[in-house]
Amino acid sequence: MAETRCPMCSKLNPDNLESCQHCQARLKPLIVSGDEKGQTVRPGEAPVKKATAEFEKVTLPPQSPIRPGEAPTKKDTGELEQALPAWLRSLRGQEDTQDETPAETPAGPVEASDDRSTGETGETGAGLRDWLAGMIEKPADEVEQAADWLSGIRAEATEDTLSSPEPDEMDQSGGEDWLARLGGTSEITPAMPAGADVLADEFDSEMPTPQQPEATPATEPSPKVVFPDWLAGLQAGVETPQETQVQQPGEAVPAESMPDWMAGLQPQAETPQEAHVQRPDEAAPAESMPDWMAGLQPQGTPEAASPAETPAVPSDALPDWLASAIRETVVDEVTVAPVSNKTETPDWLQDFRVEPSSEESDLADNNIETSHQPVAAADFPPKTEKPTEPMPGWLADIERSVGPSESTPALIVDHEGTMSGSATDAAYSMEMPDWINKLKPDASKTPPAFAGQAGDEEPEDLAPAELPSWVKAMRPVESVVAEARVTQPAEEGMVEQQGPLAGLSGVLPPSPGLGPLRKPPAYSITLQTTEEQQRYASLLEQMISEEATSQPAKKKKRDLSVRIIRWMIAAVLFLAVSVPFLTGVQLAPPSTLYPPELIAAFNTIGALPANGTVLLAFDYEPALSGELEAAAAPVFDQLLFLDTKLTFISTSPTGPILAEHFMQITRPAYGHQTSGEYINLGYLAGGPAGVLYFAVDPVSTAPLTVGGDPAWELPALQNIRTVSDFAAVIVLTDNADTGRTWIEQTAPYLGETPLLMVISAQAEPMIRPYYDSGQLDGLVTGLAGGKSYEQAVQMPGLSERYWNAFSIGLFVAVVIITLGSAWSLVGVLINRRKLREEKDVL
Amino acid sequence: MRLKGIFSTSIAIATGLIVLAGYFLALPLLINLRVVILNWAVILAAFAVWIGVVNLFAVHAQKFRQKKAGRFYSLVLVVSMLVTLIIGLVTGPQSKLMTGVFNMVQLPIEASLMAVLAVSLTYASARLLRRVDMLSILFLGTAMLVLLGTAPLPFIGEIPLLSDLIRPFIAQVLAAAGARGILIGVALGILTTGLRILFGVDRPYGGK
């Protein structure tokens, strides 16, 4: 049992199956392209045997017969079924067994073979003569309808052949010559099917005007004279009044005898060239006819004698080459038959279905070779062909004269719609000649088929690949859809509603992408959750909703204990500071610490010249005046003890009055100087610029005292013109920036003048680096420094008064901080224990 | 760049270069120019203080006229300013009345604020460990050591190693080290700012 390899999965399947039993892919394509069967074997070329399964290849139909600029004619070929010629209908029964016939048949040879098929049938037996007799009895209108149908199919081919005549061949004459011309005209005569030759001239008149009218005479002569005797009786039946009318120049075919679409073409049909073709006076000369045809001439109407009518020659009178050419009829009929609807074949035509014998098949094969001659000539140079069999002269001329035919293949055979697998087997079971085996499509020459049939072009020698599942899963969707489309039965194919393929079903598969390829799978969007998950989700939703709702602002509850603690701390500190200050109780021991900077300051001041002028800058704020006054008081005591003259200046607006305040405090305590013994230069504006300006030119910077007197005319400042003329510069500040300004701006102009500072304890970290770097000559820091300085100079003062309060206050503060910290730690531990217990409870 | 910008920038750069050159070159011309420029700067700064006082008076006076919130305090400020100004202009800055106003008003107020600050800092330190973390403990421990080492404690006196070693080490090494770093950063910032102004990159006088 023959097996067919699946084009998709490459597995073997029984040949009678239409779909792969493994992958369900369609084994037999829906459409047979004429391109695949266009591989011809030229005369003399040894045919190569090939598998008949190759004819099941499905390719795209050939190019459209509609020419550029020509509007497509709407045709419903289903209506033309009744117009099929008798002989064609009789042969339609043979379609199932002759599918091996190439679908792509050039138009010219088709007509020639059609013409000669009549002769062949007459030659093969009485049965064929019977169907010819039926054709004789066919009413003229049916014949016309058949011609309509056929002319619509081969209009393109006719024009092409008319446009390329061979003038040299027309000059031939004689019995063999006319046959030679007949053979020669096989390429230039219009592609008319057998049986339709009677009305061929009608459609010739309706065809577009040929570009080269010289081609027309080549088609005219022979039909007039090649009517055999047995066709003489047909003349009367063939020559219908319609034909006579059509063949008259300027007359149109009656509308009722032709389809609508043909009627529309009628007014533009008869061009002078066509009329010239159809005029009887331009027919071939009588000497070009054989003798046996000469007697027929008076009987036949010249207009009815188309070249297609000539082949009805007795088989005895036909040469061998002509007999082989007549075999082409069978092939051409097969190529034409699928256009009509098989089911509409009349019953009376069923009797004419004759199964071709092996001999007929051989003849048909030869005709196929002849019919494909133009294609072969186009593909291969004719000179390279070496015919192995003797070829008649006219056929040789054909081979030489035939160029690449641009005619459109006559028809596309849809085998799937009409043939079953068993019928195909029966048709291919006969012994095929070798040249048919050469018709195996060449992959390199085969035009690319459409996507749905891409898999059919895989060579057989390729090992079938077993795709892994993951590779199959990665196949593009188009391939899957195409596979699914191929598996659809041919009956589900679309029926063309318009155009030249109107009425045909399954000819053109729907292109991928025109519509939804497949319905996407539906997935459920319902979330599958368990009850526990739903419970958690509800809890989460509740929590989120609670967070989203605004909570009323809780009125901050005043913590009474905090307020009490604050007041208690303030009270304790106040008492700790005030009681020693007020009572004078000495609870704190004297300081025994003498920092080096303090000692340096003490030594520097102690080294100042007597009666020298010392510049004192009061650059501190009133808030820290208590600390700085206490710290600076012993320094002033030492200065006054040395009988130095004091000059005050300040970069702070409150500085001048602070200086006055300081002198008011210290003067009663020491009593060394009166108010007239110091000079207050007032406020020095400009910040760093003012300090610099004062360092450069103090006279210009502060020319007046606070009281408005000329400062530099006073005895204390008479010898002072620059900052370096002062005996020492002492800066009293609580601000590190201010101290830095004085250091940076005056240092270049001080020269040997020492720069000392009395600073607040808070400014010590920032000022001390300048002392360490040598830019400061001494430093007294805070109340502790003042206390130590007092002890150094042995002059009790403000520091002594503040010292007990200061010491007790520090001690109390440390105790409060310690107690508070311990309380805080206990509270923290308690809270952590509570949290731990709460966690343990949870 | 507009002409105004060019003009102001040129003046700023020229002034800066003259003053800077005066530090390195002892030329009389440069010194005199620098003195003049510095004098202008001092005058402008003093005038700026006066402008600030006038602006403060205007703002609070307008606030009182418009009856905004806190207008009472604005009224007190305006009245106090006018009274002090009048006293100072009439009696002079060194008069007893003027000194008495300062000693009895401004000085106690500012000193009281500092005393309140001492109480607040003590209370905050006591509650510092309510949030137990490493920085809080470190900060509180450092403060305690400095306080205890600053002065001799009542009835105890100076704590050995704390007053003469630990406290000086904290104040003179650790704190000075941090302060030096800050000072170096400040110096570099001032240098960069001065150069940017000299190059015209920063034009605070021109609006940029």
User: What's the pLDDT score for residue A256?
Assistant: 46
Supply angle C-alpha A76, A79, A82, rounded to 5: 145
Q: Is A48 helix (H, G, I), strand (E, B) or coil?
A: coil
- For residue A249, pLDDT over 60 is answered with no
The tokens for B25 are 């070159």
Q: How far apart are the first and last CA of chain A?
A: 82
- For residue A253, pLDDT over 50 is answered with no
- For residue A432, pLDDT over 80 is answered with no
Q: Specify the residue for token string 């809890």.
A: A539
User: What's the pLDDT score for residue B168?
Assistant: 84
Of A117 and A805, the structure prediction assigns the larger pLDDT to A805
| Helix (H) or strand (E) segment spanning residue B94 | none
Q: What are phi and psi of A137, to 5 degrees?
A: -80, 0
Tell me if A218 sits within 8 A of A329, measured CB to CB: no
Window from A140-149, A488-497, A651-660, B127-136 with minimum mean pLDDT:
A140-149
User: What's the pLDDT score for residue A614?
Assistant: 92
Q: In this predicted model, what pLDDT tens digit does every residue of B22-41 receive, in sequence order? A: 778 878 888 888 888 888 88
* Nearest of A177, A33, A199, A176 to residue A111 by alpha carbon: A199
Residues 166-195 of B with CB under 8 A from A: 168, 171-172, 175-176, 178-180, 182-183
For B42, name the nearest residue in chain A, comparing CA atoms only: A686
Please tell me if residue B76 touches chain A, with a CB cutoff of 8 Å. no
User: What's the pLDDT score for residue A312?
Assistant: 44
Please tell me if residue A674 touches chain B, with a CB cutoff of 8 Å. no
CA dist A55 and A38 (Å) reads: 11
Of A424 and A709, the structure prediction assigns the larger pLDDT to A709
Kindly indicate the confidence band of residue A383, based on its pLDDT and cuts at 50, 70 and 90. very low
CA dist A252 and A262 (Å) reads: 11
Edge to edge, the sheet with strand A678-683 lists A678-683, A645-650, A613-619, A728-733, A755-759, A778-781
Residues 89-118 of B with CB under 8 A from A: 92-94, 98-99, 102-103, 106-107, 110-111, 113-114, 116, 118
User: What's the pLDDT score for residue B32?
Assistant: 83
The tokens for A591 are 């300081």
Q: Is A728 helix (H, G, I), strand (E, B) or coil?
A: strand
pTM score, whole prediction: 0.49
Amino acid type, A232: A
CA dist A382 and A138 (Å) reads: 43
A48-59 average pLDDT score: 55
Residues 769-828 of A with CB under 8 A from B: 769, 772, 782-784, 803-804, 806-811, 813-814, 816-821, 823-825, 827-828
A412-431 average pLDDT score: 48
Residues 6+ apart with CB under 8 A from A455: A7, A8
Cβ–Cβ of B126/A622 closer than 8 Å?
no
For B36, name the nearest residue in chain A, comparing CA atoms only: A693
Tell me if A746 sits within 8 A of A755, measured CB to CB: yes
User: What's the pLDDT score for residue A648?
Assistant: 92
- For residue B134, pLDDT over 50 is answered with yes
| Helix (H) or strand (E) segment spanning residue A229 | none
CA dist A397 and A625 (Å) reads: 136
Rg (CA), chain A: 64
Chain A partners within 8 Å of B160 (Cβ): none
User: What's the pLDDT score for residue A499?
Assistant: 78
User: What's the pLDDT score for residue A92?
Assistant: 61
For A782, name the nearest residue in chain B, comparing CA atoms only: B150
Kindly indicate the confidence band of residue A34, based on its pLDDT and cuts at 50, 70 and 90. very low
Please tell me if residue B35 touches chain A, with a CB cutoff of 8 Å. yes
Please tell me if residue A668 touches chain B, with a CB cutoff of 8 Å. no
Kindly indicate the confidence band of residue A322, based on its pLDDT and cuts at 50, 70 and 90. low
* Nearest of A336, A311, A260 to residue A112 by alpha carbon: A311
- For residue B189, pLDDT over 90 is answered with yes
Q: Is A708 helix (H, G, I), strand (E, B) or coil?
A: coil
- For residue A422, pLDDT over 60 is answered with no
Q: Pick from B93, B122, B175: which is nearest to A706 by CB?
A: B93
CA dist A636 and A755 (Å) reads: 15
B86-91 average pLDDT score: 88
Of A4 and A449, the structure prediction assigns the larger pLDDT to A4
Chain A partners within 8 Å of B110 (Cβ): 621-623, 625
User: What's the pLDDT score for residue A283?
Assistant: 43
- For residue B60, pLDDT over 90 is answered with yes
Tell me if A647 sits within 8 A of A615, measured CB to CB: yes
Window from A155-169, A483-497, A776-790 with minimum mean pLDDT:
A155-169
Residues A404, A405, A408, A411, CA torsion sign:
negative
Tell me if B159 sits within 8 A of B148, measured CB to CB: yes
User: What's the pLDDT score for residue B6?
Assistant: 80
Ramachandran bin of A165, using left for φ above 0, alpha for ψ from -120 to 50, beta for the remaining angles: beta
For A624, name the nearest residue in chain B, comparing CA atoms only: B111
Kindly indicate the confidence band of residue A419, based on its pLDDT and cuts at 50, 70 and 90. very low
- For residue A292, pLDDT over 90 is answered with no
Percent over 70 (pLDDT), chain A: 43
The tokens for A499 are 């155009």
A311 by Cβ neighbours in 10 Å (0-12 / 13-18 / 19+) ranks as buried
Tell me if A122 sits within 8 A of A470, measured CB to CB: no
DSSP A299-322: TS-GGG--GGGTT---TTTS-HHH
User: What's the pLDDT score for residue A517?
Assistant: 64
Query: In angstroms, how far is CA A82 from the centroid of its own chain?
Result: 53
- For residue A136, pLDDT over 50 is answered with no
User: What's the pLDDT score for residue A327?
Assistant: 56
Please tell me if residue B31 touches chain A, with a CB cutoff of 8 Å. yes
Kindly indicate the confidence band of residue A340, based on its pLDDT and cuts at 50, 70 and 90. very low
DSSP A480-547: HHHHHHHTS-GGGSPBP-SSTTTT-BSSSPPPTTSS-SSPPPP--------HHHHHHHHHHHHHHHHH
Chain B partners within 8 Å of A823 (Cβ): 126
Mean pLDDT for all residues in chain A = 65
B97-120 average pLDDT score: 89
Q: Pick from A623, A697, A804: which is nearest to B114 by CB?
A: A623
B119-137 average pLDDT score: 87
Please tell me if residue B124 touches chain A, with a CB cutoff of 8 Å. no
CA dist A637 and A615 (Å) reads: 15
Cβ–Cβ of A587/B118 closer than 8 Å?
no
Q: How far is CA A505 from CA A79, A204, A526, A537, B6, in A?
A: 14, 29, 44, 59, 90
Chain A partners within 8 Å of B169 (Cβ): none
Kindly indicate the confidence band of residue A759, based on its pLDDT and cuts at 50, 70 and 90. very high
A379-385 average pLDDT score: 45
User: What's the pLDDT score for residue A113?
Assistant: 40
- For residue A342, pLDDT over 50 is answered with no
Pairing outcome for strands A613-619 and A12-14: unpaired
Supply angle C-alpha A116, A119, A121, rounded to 5: 110
Kindly indicate the confidence band of residue A303, based on its pLDDT and cuts at 50, 70 and 90. very low
The tokens for A146 are 């058949």
Amino acid type, A518: R
B180 by Cβ neighbours in 10 Å (0-12 / 13-18 / 19+) ranks as middle
Kindly indicate the confidence band of residue A399, based on its pLDDT and cuts at 50, 70 and 90. low
Q: Measured between CA atoms, how close is A825 to chain B, in angstroms?
A: 6
Please tell me if residue B141 touches chain A, with a CB cutoff of 8 Å. no
Tell me if A17 sits within 8 A of A86, measured CB to CB: no
CA dist A239 and A232 (Å) reads: 11
- For residue A402, pLDDT over 60 is answered with no
Of A475 and A76, the structure prediction assigns the larger pLDDT to A475
User: What's the pLDDT score for residue B161?
Assistant: 84
Q: Is A279 helix (H, G, I), strand (E, B) or coil?
A: coil
Residues 6+ apart with CB under 8 A from A648: A616, A617, A618, A655, A656, A659, A678, A679, A680, A681
